[in-house]
């Protein structure tokens, strides 16, 4: 259809038709997907007005004004007076505030630009690079703030990068500008004197309280708890002290919540004298002298024993309270302290005859040595007259035979001092290894297990003499050495 025919049909002039055709062509170039959509109407373009001369002048002076500010942050009140001095015919305050917001949004100029780092010393660059590559978070933050500020990075981006507030970033920048990296070190001015005095006063008052009974303050308890101390402290002194603070004060004073326990003591009036004598022997023990710690293990019954073992959670192992014993035995043993070797045999009684039997066994085993020291507890059969006479005969024979057999000397432990008997620690390891959680079918089977334990132990200490008490023997209660602080007797070692 020609333009003339189209003009008559829709009753529009040719000039209007030409205008519509041009707009349609331009619309198809901009929105090709809407070319055939008769219901599409393009959005009206926004009118762009050329900036006024006053706005151009304001944009020209603002960067310099921000850079020369002496206040902490560039703001409208801080800039307006300087702006009017340069542009006396410029905007009023309200219009300036609106135009400044528009300009700042479009320019993205940092309002803290006047605070940025302007110079980085050459000697600081190497250290800053080291901080940037290191693992110290504070040093990395400081180095990042200084280098990014020097490179003109916006404070907002720096804050997002190092996860710090604007004041913290500006503090780093100001300190570096004023005194370099040395000025960035945290300076401790000491604790507040009033707070220190108050804390010490609280500690002093709390120490007074715990030395008094809670019943004096109407609390029906035999010992203090933290909550009661907090309440009573407030009633007495009118000051709130939290239970957690009380616990911290007690920890600083070396006070802890502990259960009272029964201590092991010896009533022997010559306790120190006997103990010093044994220490003197051990400290001066010669290469051909042996010191033995002797005791009896048992009597122990042969039946199912309780103990720790790996079992299914739903089927724990059980042991009957009343069982028929398969027999019983006693193991008499001697531990040589310098070599950690155990000599043992089994018996059916505890008396002087068994001690004589053990001494004969030791004399045969250690014939090449000059002297044997025997240390045991104050049991009656350890100090009988028959035993003393027998030892006297042995020593007389040793003198006549010119020390072909060793000389035997007794060094008994103080009365009721089984906790100093080192072999008790070995018995503890024996009980945990082969007795607990056991179910031997006969006395001989149990004896075989005990003998094998001692044989393996002796072989180990012959191979590793400097590692006594470690490795596979770590189940022993304490290290196999003579020490007055040791508690060799295992309270859980029930037969």
**CATH number of the structural domain spanning residue 403:** 3.30.420.10
Residue 480 has pLDDT above 50, yes or no: yes
User: Which pLDDT tens digit goes with each residue over 159-205?
Assistant: 888 888 878 888 888 888 888 887 777 666 667 788 888 889 998 88
> H or E stretch including 194?
helix 193-210
Same domain, 323 and 429: yes
C-beta of residue 239 within 8 angstroms of C-beta of residue 233: yes
State whether residue 294 is helix, strand or coil.
Answer: strand
- CA nearest neighbour of 453 among 323, 297, 338: 297
pLDDT for the residue 178:
82
- For the segment 374-386, the average pLDDT, to the nearest whole number, is 84
Same domain, 171 and 221: no
| 248 & 337 share domain | no
Tell me the two tokens of residue 146: 């200084």
Give the Cα-Cα-Cα angle 229, 235, 238 (nearest 5 degrees). 105
Residue pLDDT, tens place only, 25-56 = 888 888 888 777 878 887 777 777 787 888 88
Q: pLDDT band at 400, cuts 50/70/90?
A: low
Asked whether residue 222 falls in the same domain as residue 308, the answer is: no
Q: Which residues contact 40 (CB under 8 A, 6 or more apart)?
A: 31, 34
Strand partners, 373: 291, 409
Tokens of 329: 């035995």
* pLDDT given for residue 28 in this prediction: 81
In the structure, what pLDDT confidence band is assigned to residue 495 with cuts at 50, 70 and 90?
very low
Q: Which residue has the higher pLDDT, 193 or 449?
A: 449
Nearest to 338 by CA among 456, 462, 452, 487: 462
For residues 261-283, average pLDDT:
77
Q: Residues 387, 354: contact at Cβ < 8 Å?
A: no
Q: What is the mean pLDDT of residues 74-100?
A: 81
Which token pair is 370? 């000059």
pLDDT band at 230 (very low <50, low <70, confident <90, very high): very high
278 & 389 share domain: yes
Q: In 10 A of CB 158, how many CB atoms?
A: 24
The tokens of 284 are what? 């001066």
Task: Report the domain count for the chain.
Answer: 4
- Cα gap 7→341, rounded to integer Å: 127
pLDDT attached to residue 471: 31
Q: Which residue has the tokens 């780093």?
A: 172
Dist. CA 227–CA 221, nearest whole Å: 12
Do 97 and 178 belong together in one domain?
no
| More confident of the two residues 55 and 333 | 333
- A 10 A CB-CB count for 423 gives 24
Any domain includes 389 = yes
What per-residue confidence (pLDDT) applies to 25? 84
Measured CA to CA, the distance from residue 374 to residue 355 in angstroms comes to 11
Per the model's pLDDT, the better-predicted residue between 466 and 441 turns out to be 441
- Give the pLDDT confidence score for residue 286 in this predicted structure: 85
pLDDT at 297 > cutoff 60:
yes
Residues in the chain: 495
Confidence of residue 241 (pLDDT cuts 50, 70, 90): very high
Answer whether residue 258 is part of any domain: no
The label of the residue with tokens 């039997």 reads 357
User: Is residue 344 situated within a structural domain?
Assistant: yes
With cut-offs at 50, 70 and 90, classify the pLDDT of residue 468: very low
pLDDT at residue 233, rounded to an integer: 92
Identify whether 230 is part of a domain: yes
State yes or no: pLDDT of 231 exceeds 90. Answer: yes
Q: Say if pTM beats, i.e. exceeds, 0.75.
A: no
On average, the pLDDT of the chain sits at 81
Please determine, for residue 403, whether its predicted confidence score (pLDDT) is greater than 60: no
Which residue among 252, 284, 302 closes a domain?
Answer: 252
Reported confidence tier of residue 470, pLDDT bands at 50, 70, 90: very low
Asked, for residue 98, whether it belongs to a domain, the answer is: yes
**pLDDT for residue 469:** 32
Q: Of the residues 89, 114, 139, which one is the last residue of a structural domain?
A: 114
Residue 455 and residue 333 in contact, taking contact as beta carbons nearer than 8 Å = no
Residues 419 and 322 in one domain: yes
Give the per-residue pLDDT at 342. 92
Asked whether the predicted pLDDT for residue 266 surpasses 80, the reply is no
Closest CA to 163 of 190, 132, 141: 141
The pLDDT confidence band at residue 79, using thresholds 50, 70 and 90, is confident
Q: Does residue 423 lie in a domain region?
A: yes
Confidence of residue 494 (pLDDT cuts 50, 70, 90): very low
- 310 in any annotated domain: yes
Query: Which residues fall within 8 angstroms of residue 96, CB to CB, at 6 or more apart?
Result: 58, 76, 80, 83, 90
Same domain, 298 and 347: yes
Residue 387's region, left for phi above 0, alpha for psi from -120 to 50, else beta, is alpha
Q: Is the dihedral of CA 333, 336, 340, 341 positive or negative?
A: negative
Tell me, yes or no, whether 132 lies in a domain: yes
Does 388 lie in the same domain as 319?
Answer: yes
pLDDT of 84 higher than 80: yes
pLDDT over 70, % of the chain: 85
Burial class of 238 by CB neighbour count within 10 A (0 to 12, 13 to 18, 19+)? exposed
Out of 134, 162, 184, a domain closes at 184
Residues 108 and 126 in one domain: no
In terms of domains, do 242 and 279 share one? no
Give residue 227's domain range.
193-252
* Weakest mean pLDDT among 230-239, 266-275, 345-354, 486-495: 486-495
244 and 202, same structural domain?
A: yes
Distance CA 465, CA 240 (A): 60
Classify strands 341-347 and 289-301 as parallel, antiparallel or unpaired: unpaired
Task: Say how many Å lie between the first and final Cα of the chain, rounded.
Answer: 121
CB-based contact 185:139 (threshold 8 Å): no
Give the CA dihedral 128, 129, 135, 140, nearest 10 degrees: 40
- The continuous run of DSSP H or E covering 300 comes out as strand 289-301
């Amino acid at each position: 259809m020609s333009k003339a025919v189209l003009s008559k049909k829709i009753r529009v002039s040719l000039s209007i038709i030409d205008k519509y055709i041009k707009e349609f062509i331009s619309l198809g170039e901009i929105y090709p997907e809407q070319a055939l959509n008769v219901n599409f109407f393009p959005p009206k373009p926004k009118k762009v007005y050329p900036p006024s001369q006053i706005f151009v002048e304001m944009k020209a002076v603002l960067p310099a004004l921000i850079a020369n500010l002496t206040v902490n942050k560039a703001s409208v009140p801080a800039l307006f007076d300087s702006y009017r001095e340069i542009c006396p015919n410029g905007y009023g305050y309200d219009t300036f505030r609106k135009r400044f917001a528009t300009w700042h949004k479009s320019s993205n100029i940092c309002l803290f630009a006047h605070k940025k780092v302007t110079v980085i010393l050459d000697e600081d660059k190497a250290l800053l690079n080291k901080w940037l590559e290191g693992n110290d978070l504070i040093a990395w933050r400081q180095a990042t703030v200084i280098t990014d500020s020097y490179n003109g990075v916006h404070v907002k981006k720096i804050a997002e990068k190092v996860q710090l507030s604007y004041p913290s970033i500006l503090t780093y920048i100001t300190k570096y500008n004023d005194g370099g990296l040395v000025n960035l070190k945290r300076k401790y001015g000491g604790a507040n004197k009033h707070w220190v005095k108050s804390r010490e006063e609280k500690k002093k008052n709390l120490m007074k309280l715990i030395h008094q009974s809670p019943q004096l303050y109407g609390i029906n308890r035999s010992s203090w708890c933290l909550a009661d101390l907090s309440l009573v402290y407030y009633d007495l002194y009118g000051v709130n002290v939290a239970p957690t603070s009380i616990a911290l004060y007690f920890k600083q004073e070396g006070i802890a919540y502990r259960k009272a326990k029964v201590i092991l003591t010896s009533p022997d009036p010559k306790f120190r004298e006997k103990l010093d004598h044994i220490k003197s022997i051990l400290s001066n023990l010669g290469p051909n002298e042996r010191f033995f710690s002797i005791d009896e293990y048992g009597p122990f019954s042969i039946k199912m024993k309780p103990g720790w073992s790996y079992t299914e959670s739903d089927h724990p192992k059980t042991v009957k309270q009343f069982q028929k014993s398969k027999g019983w035995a006693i193991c008499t043993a001697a531990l040589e302290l310098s070599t950690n070797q155990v000599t043992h045999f089994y018996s059916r009684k505890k008396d002087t005859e068994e001690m004589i039997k053990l001494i004969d066994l030791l004399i045969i085993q250690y014939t090449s040595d000059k002297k044997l020291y025997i240390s045991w507890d104050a049991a009656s059969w350890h100090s009988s007259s028959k035993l003393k006479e027998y030892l006297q005969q042995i020593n007389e024979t040793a003198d006549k035979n010119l020390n072909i057999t060793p000389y035997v000397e007794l060094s008994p432990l103080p009365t009721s001092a089984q906790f100093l008997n080192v072999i008790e620690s070995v018995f503890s390891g024996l009980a945990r290894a082969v007795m607990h959680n056991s179910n031997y079918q006969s006395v001989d089977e149990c004896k075989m297990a005990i003998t094998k334990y001692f044989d393996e132990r002796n072989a180990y200490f012959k191979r590793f003499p400097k590692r006594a008490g470690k490795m596979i023997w770590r189940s022993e209660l304490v290290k196999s050495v003579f020490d007055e602080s040791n508690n060799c007797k295992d309270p859980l070692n029930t037969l």
